[in-house]
Homo-oligomer: A and B are copies of this chain.
Amino acid sequence: MQNNEQLLQAFENYLAQTEFPAEPELLYAPIGYSLAGGGKRLRPMLLMLACGIFSDDTQRALPAAAAVEVFHNFTLLHDDIMDNAAVRRGKPSVFAKWGQNVAILSGDAMLICAYRLLSAIPPQLLPQVLATFNTMALEVCEGQQYDMDFENKPKVSVVEYMHMIELKTSVLLAGAVVIGATLGGASEEDCRKLRRFAIELGLAFQLQDDLLDSYGDERLGKAIGGDILEGKKTYLMITAMSHADEPTREVLRSTYRKQGISDQEKIDTVKAIYDSLDIPRLTEQQISLRFERALAILDTLSVGAERTKGMRDYAAGLMGRKH
């Protein structure tokens, strides 16, 4: 069996040798640019690790791993148009570099390329994997739509927010592990359990992302406080809104678009409210709860504990935690 470092290297090699046509250049160059942009390769890693729980042959998972990574990058490409985002992983987004039309069309081509990679999996598993992939892909679109809906919605509840990030983030991780497990020969029951594992892990991951945006971590290439300055409805903001009194809520609602104060003052104002309402600790609690739940599910699989060690280590590393 390969360790996690070797697994990642095998994936990078596979992706690098995946060929895309050269012409028309404006259709295909953004795909190579986008895939070469790095990122954690979280989704393909989860897919291969899930396969590795049930089979020593993780090679067979490479095409599907590439499919989920290409799909993920497709969503980023189109999200960046919708969010008007000029930067992605410290480089100009495809949208900023080539313009909107190229970003739309090469994104479309990327989604099709994801399906083309899927078509390389063993025929007897194809119907099941394709169905999992389709449901996953559609739910990710639903999540993005809810995320955009929330921007114009005056009040978003914690339950609505958790549902949105489950669709926008967790579902893709869940699809990846279920596809990986299926390719590894897992039973339906183990697939269902791994799905729950990934849903919980994805929620922990997204909440941590929300927390780090305001409270920082050098691992992120983002400026601290970006969410606050955009007035984004994050877990922190939504939880604070649900705990605060009305005058404080009004401050939370309006600070980001206030004239005549600096960005740093805006960030300090909102974070002072978060601190007074104990939001960082509440968020940490929620992250730990989700993360522990995820790990506990791994123990219930029909395999020995040694088979889940790679997944466990990877999840802990992802969350910057020991286990």
A contact set with B: CB distance below 8 Å? 21, 23-24, 26-27, 78, 81-82, 100-101, 104-105, 107-109, 111-113, 115-116, 118-119, 123-124, 126-127, 130-131, 134-135, 137-138, 141-142, 144-146, 148-149
Contacts and interface: CB of A to CB of B under 8 A. Distances in A.
Nearest to A121: B127
Nearest to A115: B134
A297 to B, nearest CB: 27
Contact of A113 (B113, B115, B138): B138
Copies in the complex: 2
Given A26-B149, A130-B126, A145-B27, A111 B111 contact: yes
Contacts of A105: 78, 82, 141, 144-145, 148
A138 B111 contact: no
A145 B26 contact: yes
Contacts of A137: 112, 115
Given A101-B82, A105-B144, A109-B138, A130 B149 contact: no
Given A126-B126, A130-B130, 9 more contacts: A24-B146, A81-B100, A81-B101, A81-B104, A105-B148, A112-B138, A115-B134, A119-B130, A119-B131
Contacts of A134: 112, 115-116, 119
A135 B21 CA distance: 12
Given A27-B145, A137-B112, A104 B101 contact: no
13 contacts: A26-B148, A78-B104, A78-B105, A81-B100, A81-B104, A82-B101, A104-B104, A105-B148, A115-B115, A115-B130, A116-B135, A119-B127, A126-B127
Contacts of A78: 104-105, 108
A11 B26 CA distance: 36
Contacts of A142: 21, 23-24, 27, 109
